[in-house]
Amino acid sequence: MTRVTHASTRWTIGQGSPLAVIAGCNVLESLEESLAMGRVLKSVCADLNLPYVFKASFDKANRSSITSFRGPGLEKGLEMLSTIKAELNVPICTDVHTADQAMAVAEVAEIIQLPAFLCRQTDLVTAMAEAAKAKGSLIHVKKAQFLAPWDCKNILSKIRETYSANQIILCERGTSFGYNNLVVDPLSISEMRKLGVPVTIDATHAVQLPGADPRSGGTSTGGRRDGVAIIAKAAVAAGADGVFLEFHTDPNSALCDAPSCLPISEARPLLTQLKALREIVSENASDA
């Protein structure tokens, strides 16, 4: 299994590296909120010596309802992310939803993210590969809720047709299990790592209950916030190289996936535990 490094920022993930952290907010609500969370997360990761990337979406294109908050959009969102990047001096991760967004996003983001529901869309995948190649970006691929972990090899193959550098990270984010439910199989972590790329766990979206938020009568996604730490710890114990987490200063008022995001006050204790787990796993791997 290889280690992936972003050339200019030296952010690393994979074999021999500390636990990598991709964390921030689900969607850009305001610049002030995003900067507040980014400052806390940067400080925590610096204290723990964990490589950190700020994550936020400029658009949530797959909301349950047409009336749901989507975010500021591409132009305003990339402007906000550029400001966050400059003020906090951190790398950025954000999603790409359409092929024509890829190059603009890669201008700002060191990690461009392929959403789970879109991971088999060939035109989008190849456009992201072209943009990543041009800008030296990394690609973070969310495994679809309907996809077996070993079938991610086909996504990797599509990317490598254009971008031969091994600058790809796979992400486990749960698998559909009947209606309105997701489960995480910890064995999927090792299966995806067998493909020769680092693997992260999206513990935030893995606790979703799609279309099952009782507050909205099924027009939004529910979640089990208490499960985020459980899934994150289980995945790191299973060998995950990084964690993807979303926070909010007031989770219950978050405009997207409120039942799944964590209060920012929990970042330090959770990441401290996850770092310790990663070190134990790495020690055991080196002894084997």
Distant-in-sequence, close-in-space partners of 279: CB < 8 Å, separation ≥ 6: none
For the question of residue 166 being annotated catalytic, the response is: no
Catalytic annotation, pick one of 60, 142, 143, 275: 60
Task: Tell me, yes or no, if 85 is annotated catalytic.
Answer: no
Collapse the DSSP code of 245 into the 3-class scheme (helix H, G, I; strand E, B; otherwise coil) and give the result: strand
Catalytic pick among 26, 59, 143, 233: 26
Q: Are strands 111-114 and 208-209 parallel, antiparallel or unpaired?
A: unpaired
Is there a catalytic annotation at residue 60?
yes
Which helix or strand (DSSP H or E) is residue 183 part of?
strand 182-183
Q: How far is CA 101 from the centre of its chain?
A: 18
Instruction: Measure Cα distances from 119 to 113, 171, 206, 237, 248 in Å.
Output: 10, 11, 16, 26, 27
CA dihedral for 182, 186, 187, 191, sign (positive or negative) = positive
Q: Which of 202, 233, 257, 275 is catalytic?
A: 257
| Nearest Cα residue to 264 out of 231, 228, 216 | 228
Q: Catalytic residue positions?
A: 26, 60, 257
